[in-house]
């Protein structure tokens, strides 16, 4: 199941806050803020999809994510690699490093991360 871009934006706020009432989430948006009914609709859809849940606190609901940010984005990156790069992480890495205008410093940092992961897996 996938979130729409507006649901993803709201989910980003919820991941950052960890738990929030609707008013807390509204305050995360810049002016002009979305209508409370819009946020309520998004929260209901996200709950129906299983991405969030809530605890009833009096007459209010305190929302919290049920899906970790890392898990959500990992799944979508894997889908992207499968769909656009013939399920080849090497093709993805080649495209990513050549087409995203990474600086030398960023490429060196990426190499350091890959080297650390290789070392960890070889232990």
The pLDDT tens digits of the residues spanning 33-88 come to 999 999 999 999 999 999 999 999 999 999 999 999 999 999 888 988 999 999 99
Q: Residue 5 has what pLDDT? A: 94
Q: For 74-94, what is each residue's pLDDT tens digit? A: 988 898 899 999 999 899 988
Q: Residue 99 has what pLDDT? A: 87
Q: What spatial distance separates the first Cα and last Cα of the chain, rounded to whole Å?
A: 36
In terms of domains, do 55 and 99 share one? no
In terms of domains, do 9 and 59 share one? yes
pLDDT at 2 over 90: no
24 confidence band (pLDDT: 50, 70, 90): very high
| Cβ neighbours, 10 Å, residue 66 | 13
Where among 45, 65, 85 does a domain terminate? 65
Where among 42, 65, 88 does a domain terminate? 65
In terms of domains, do 55 and 74 share one? no
66-70 long-range contacts (CB < 8 A, ≥24 apart) are 69/11, 69/12, 69/15
In terms of domains, do 12 and 61 share one? yes
CA-to-CA distance for 100 and 95, rounded, in angstroms? Answer: 8
In terms of domains, do 55 and 79 share one? no
In terms of domains, do 27 and 41 share one? yes
**Which CATH number goes with the domain that contains 34?**
1.10.10.10
Q: Write out the residue range of the structural domain in which residue 76 sits.
A: 69-122
């Amino acid at each position: 199941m996938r979130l729409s871009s507006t649901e993803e934006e709201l989910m980003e706020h919820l991941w950052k806050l960890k738990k929030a009432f609707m008013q807390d989430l509204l305050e995360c948006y810049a002016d002009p803020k979305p209508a409370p009914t819009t946020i309520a609709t998004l929260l209901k859809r996200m709950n129906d999809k299983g991405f969030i849940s809530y605890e009833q606190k009096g007459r209010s609901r305190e929302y919290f994510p049920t899906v970790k940010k890392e898990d959500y984005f990992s799944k979508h990156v894997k889908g992207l690699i499968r769909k656009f790069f013939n399920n080849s992480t090497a093709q993805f890495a080649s495209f990513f490093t050549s087409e995203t205008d990474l600086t030398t410093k960023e490429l060196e940092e990426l190499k350091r991360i890959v080297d650390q992961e290789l070392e960890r897996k070889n232990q």
